[in-house]
Structure 1
Amino acid sequence: MIDKQSPIPIYYQLEQYMKEKIEKGEWQPGEMIPSERELAEMYDISRMTVRQAVNNLVNDGYLIRRRGKGTFVAAQKIEQPLKGLTSFSEDMRARGMEPGTIVLSFEMVPASEKLAEGLGVTEGDDLYEVRRLRLADGLPMALETLYIPVNLVPGLTRDVVSGSVYEFIEKEKGMIIGSAVQTLEASVARKVEAEHLKMKEGAPVLLLERRTHLVDGRPLEVVKSVYRGDRYKFMIEMKRGGS
């Protein structure tokens, strides 16, 4: 497995071998891997070399260290293609996972100048402001804040937002959701975000902002979400012009 005569660095060979075991399911999420000493003895290499391979896999989100316990296989990241407009619940079900929601707050607030512009309403108009913790198989994935004009979707309740808002809008209100513009950027978790997402303050997160419109062009929602960087990744399919 380790070819010491190869021009490929030994730490990289070990790193790829361990990554393969994780991706093939030979090492399962939550399983503790052999210690650095055991790996060094197993492959007759230095502990420093093992440590470099393990550090790289930790940084890439394949492994996670637990102080005083050891190093474990991290939960696999959920991949979401950035094409097509789907709800969080639809994304999770498509991956065979059970979506869940904890409603942290549900209230009406006056539209700020920025939100009024984004939602096509007058500043001061009533908006639903909903803060939700989104779960996949019971694990926290994202902290979400959404704004919807009250006069556009009357009857929205705390019970409704504890499930799929898109489903309610399309099936109960008969509206057709048409398109959205979404931005994505990297950041780090602030204290409150870290507490809700069960991660360390300063850990990497993904910030998303989505502005959704109905098929007739009316603005429907502005959603701001904070996703765990160690459990979520986004995939973009690109084609070169003219191909």
Structure 2
Amino acid sequence: MHRTNVYLIFNLCCVIIYNVMIYGQDAVKTETLNRQSPIPLYYQLKEILRSWITSGKFDSDGCFPPERKLQERYGISRMTVRRALAELVNEGFLIREQGRGSFVVKTRMQEQLRHLTSFTEDTEQRGLSSEAKVLDFQITVDTEVAEEMGISEDEELIRLQRIRMVEGEPLALQTSFIRHNLCPGLVEQGLLGESLYKTLEAGYGLRLGRARQTFEAKPADEYEAGLLGIDVGQSVLVLERLTYLHNGTPIEYVRSTYRGDRYRFTVELLR
């Protein structure tokens, strides 16, 4: 069911991109519904309501307009309103409480993908407090990770798995693999200020240079859901990063699973 919702959202995104190209940005930015547009009415309404939330029109945990008010304002059926609200719930913008209505969830953390930074550095730049709960920190061998890094399959790696928390709330599950021969003694010495990158640079004199990242959306499995405090099947964002030193040597492979309702990434494209 959840996998179907992911595919449906992806297909609708394709529709909206196509219509923006054909009809212009006003096709989705206007606060009125265009009944002549091939874009479904519920999707148009969802985009309007989503813009209200992201622009700060409603405070976090603030009560959202009831279905009847939205139905009257836009002259549409209650079924259309309910579908739009359901989509916003699935995307993590709203929560619905029986007998009380819909409420805006907390603002998502947003990361600008411009520079190679750590989770700790990102939160510090925002003036937020972060902490990490270490689940696993040991020397191991992983043939699949070694293949991703382009190194010998029997080379020793340090496996570091942590729950990353911001303001006391779990936001991500992060599993890093670091080449042991480039930072011997890391497991015994621990991290400087809970930051892996700070430890590699200040503790070992390694100069980080660049990274390659990939993203995908998927439903959370039972293990991820339990650690992040979300429902099984809830949407999460998976980031895989391969980090290189300044001289081109691969140093780290990390797989991070972010809560889709609390995190989003922004990429600036230039032409």
After TM superposition, the score normalised by the length of structure 2 is 0.74
Relative to structure 1, is the Cα distance of residues 127 and 68 closer, same or farther in structure 2, using a 3 angstrom cutoff? farther
Structure 2: give runs of 5+ residues left out of the alignment: 1-30
The match for 2:264 among 220, 233, 240 is 233
Match of 2:165 in 1: 135
Given residue 155 of structure 2, which amino acid in structure 1 is its aligned partner?
Answer: D
* Partners of 1:121 and 1:149 within 8 A in 2: no
CA deviation profile, 1:55-79 (whole Å, cap 9, x unmatched): 2432443212245654220222222
Q: Which stretch has the larger CA shift, 226-235 or 191-200?
A: 226-235
Q: Check whether the contact 1:134–1:143 (CA below 8 A) recurs between aligned residues.
A: yes
Question: In the alignment, does 2:177 pair up with 1:147?
Answer: yes
Between the aligned residues of both structures, percent identity stands at 41
Deviations 1:25-63 (A, max 9, x none): 342122233443465578887533432342243244321
TM-score (norm. length: structure 1)? 0.82
Counting only pairs closer than 5 Å after superposition, residues 24-173 of structure 1 correspond to structure 2 as 24-37=55-68, 40=71, 47-66=78-97, 70-109=101-140, 111-119=141-149, 121-157=151-187, 159-160=190-191, 163-173=194-204
Q: Distance in 1 between matches of 2:247 and 2:33?
A: 64
Q: CA deviation at 1:167?
A: 0.7
Instruction: Quote the offset at 1:198 in angstroms.
Output: 1.2
What is the number of equivalent residue pairs in this alignment? 239
Counterpart CA distance in 1 for 2:229 and 2:122 is 21
Aligned residue for 1:182, secondary structure, equals strand
State the distance in 2 between where 1:79 and 1:107 align.
Answer: 31
- Please report how far the alpha carbon of residue 13 of structure 1 lies from its aligned counterpart in structure 2 after TM superposition: 7.5
Bigger share in strand? 1
CA RMSD of aligned residues (A): 3.1
Please name the residue that 1:185 is paired with: 216
Q: Judge conservation of contact 2:33–2:44 (CA < 8 Å) in 1.
A: no
Q: Tell me, which stretches of 5 or more residues in structure 1 are unaligned? A: none
Displacement of 1:132: 0.6
Deviation at 1:89, TM superposition (A): 1.1
**Displacement over 3 Å in runs of 4+:** 2-21, 37-50, 66-70, 117-122
